[in-house]
Amino acid sequence: MNGLTALSRWSEFRYSTPRMTAGKTYHIEIWGCQMNVADAAAAARRLESLGYTEVPGPAEADLVLLETCCVREKPEHKVYSRLGELRRFKEARPSMKLGVCGCMAEKEGRVILRNAPFVDLVIGPRRLARLPEILAELEESDEPLVEIGVEGEPEIEDAQDFSRYTRAGEIKAFVNVIEGCNYRCAYCIVPYVRGKFSSRTPESVADEVRRLVDAGVREVTLLGQSVLAYGRDRGKAFDIVTLFEHLHEIDGLARIRFTTNHPLEVTDRIIDAVAAMPKVMEHFHMPIQAGEDSLLAAMKRGYTVARYEELLGRIRARIPGVSVTSDVIVGFPGETDALFETCMESYARLRFDQQFMFVYSPRPGTPAATLPDQVPQEVKVARMQRLVELQNAISTEINTAAAGQVFEVLAEGPSARDANRCAGRARNDKAMVFTTEHAPERGALVRVVAEQGHLWGCSGRMVER
């Protein structure tokens, strides 16, 4: 039995009629990535359409959902530990319903009920669209419900069409445009828990974005595990550039971001579109994962360092001011001292604006988990420290070199670091904190001259509206 079959075996379809539940409250906690944030927003909109209202904590919530990740082991442990804490709330108020959603729900399924028998609901990402029906079923059931499975999944536009329930007050929003992944990176659990590529239509995405803009959103980030593969599963009818074009027409939308980008998906057509379209931001989050060819091959990433470097050069040459950020794994099986040194040389040469660095953690069910030559934890940690030092130095140098440049910044309100200053993001996603005599409205595009570079971004002052 393969992993997918084992996971989908538990998928149970029952259909009940969703009903309005005026007066009920919900609380959602996110223990994962941007995809989980988008899924949580989608769940919230679904619940609000049923009459639920959000409350800030579990104590007063009728329904508590945890949006979870399973890419690494640590977040899973944290979720179980959080479930242990939430048990107290349930014991105090047995009518409270507790659910686990997201990738960990898909991967663990009924194991969650074995480990935490007080949980009422387990819902995989591809089943979230049925949340109203599932809640109706739960009302009539004495048993916990498990709703998972990636086979025979609904099309993503059905699963993600929550645009009618857009919330007010947000200026930035994540929009899932493609679910799943067809790659099979040796360390990654995602394809097993989110299924294969499934793209929404450009019309469906544009419809959601229009509603977000009507509610005050100025910037959207188009999300997918490999977002540039958008449309692949739909033949050649449309691609990510088609989607950029659709969204570019929307009045009031100021900025379009897109993440995450597999290097094999980055084409000249996409680079040219980013260079040419004013609303598409000059930032590629393009994980390299390793800086040495034999490690990349073992990871099944499908490219070499030289190929990545050539692509990076093309992006930087074609798009002035672009920033490129990356994910990297430290301590993948077989990473010897010598191979790690080669990786460090690569990262020093490639000079990413920022790297998100992860110590390798084996995920059961992935090919890499059973590879020989696993790296001892203390070695991984020591290597990670060296990499962090290298990347911190590079990021600080890049940001310091930006002093004197003027950036277009989307104003987001007072800085969390200093309430007397404003915060925002430059087009290339650099964090900016700036002084001004007249604070701009949230969502305004302003011009900021960088005066000083820091590890986290730049500080400066607003020069004109």
Task: List interacting residues with ligand SF4 (CB under 6 A).
Answer: 181, 183-185, 188, 190-191, 225-226, 262
Quickly list DSSP for 319-346.
STT-EEEEEEEES-TT--HHHHHHHHHH
Our CB check for ligand SF4 shows the closer of 262 and 380 to be: 262
The least CB distance from residue 301 to ligand SF4, in Å, is 7
Residues in the chain: 465
**Residues 185-217: b if buried by 16+ CB within 10 A, e if exposed:** bbbbbbbbbbbebbbbbbebbbbbbbbbbeebb
Q: How is residue 182 written in tokens?
A: 């067809």
97-102 vs 457-464, strand pairing mode: unpaired
Our CB check for ligand SF4 shows the closer of 26 and 192 to be: 192
Q: How far apart (Å, rounded) are the C-alpha atoms in residues 261 and 241?
A: 14
The least CB distance from residue 146 to ligand SF4, in Å, is 24
Our CB check for ligand SF4 shows the closer of 104 and 190 to be: 190
Q: How far apart (Å, rounded) are the C-alpha atoms in residues 256 and 283?
A: 10
Our CB check for ligand SF4 shows the closer of 116 and 328 to be: 328
The least CB distance from residue 19 to ligand SF4, in Å, is 37
Our CB check for ligand SF4 shows the closer of 184 and 417 to be: 184
Our CB check for ligand SF4 shows the closer of 80 and 183 to be: 183
145-147 vs 121-123, strand pairing mode: parallel
Our CB check for ligand SF4 shows the closer of 87 and 196 to be: 196
Nearest 5 degrees, angle CA 355-CA 275-CA 259? 40
The least CB distance from residue 304 to ligand SF4, in Å, is 16
Q: How far apart (Å, rounded) are the C-alpha atoms in residues 425 and 417?
A: 14
Q: How is residue 227 written in tokens?
A: 């977002």
Our CB check for ligand SF4 shows the closer of 98 and 181 to be: 181
The distance between the two most distant Cα atoms of the chain, rounded to a whole number of Å, is 65
The least CB distance from residue 41 to ligand SF4, in Å, is 20
| Burial (CB count <10 Å: 0-12, 13-18, 19+), residue 300 | middle
Q: How is residue 310 written in tokens?
A: 């050539």
The least CB distance from residue 191 to ligand SF4, in Å, is 5
The least CB distance from residue 341 to ligand SF4, in Å, is 24
Q: At what angle do helices 240-248 and 202-214 cross, to 10 degrees?
A: 30
Our CB check for ligand SF4 shows the closer of 190 and 462 to be: 190
The least CB distance from residue 187 to ligand SF4, in Å, is 7
* Location of structure tokens 């696993």: 374
The least CB distance from residue 241 to ligand SF4, in Å, is 20
> What's the half-sphere exposure (Cβ side, CA atoms, 13 Å) at 78?
14
The least CB distance from residue 299 to ligand SF4, in Å, is 8
Our CB check for ligand SF4 shows the closer of 171 and 305 to be: 305
Alpha helices in 249-290 (DSSP H): 268-276
